[in-house]
Structure 1
Amino acid sequence: MSNTARSIEKYIFAKDANRPDLLRQSFTPDATLEMVVHTGTISFPPQVSGRAGIADVLVRRFGQSYENVYTFCLGEPPSAEAVTHDCKWLVGMSVKETGELRIGCGEYHWCFEPQSGLAEQLRITIEHMQVCPPQELEPVMNWLQSLDYPWCLPGEMIERAPQISCMAPVIEYLQD
Structure 2
Amino acid sequence: MESELILDNMYRDLAIHTPLNIVFKQFFSELKSVDECEQLQLSLYQVREHLIQQHQAIVDKLKSHDVTKALGFRLIQDKASSSGGHFLRWRTTLGLKKQPKGGLIWKALIDDSNISIAAKKRVTQMEKERLVLNMQMSVLNSMLKQLSEVIEKQIDIEQEYNRQTVN
Larger Rg: 2
Q: TM-score range by the shorter chain?
A: under 0.3
More helix by share: 2
Question: TM-score when scaled to structure 1?
Answer: 0.23
Larger relative CO (CA 8 A, sep 6+): 1 or 2?
Answer: 1
> TM-score normalized by structure 2?
0.23
Flag the structure with higher strand content.
Answer: 1
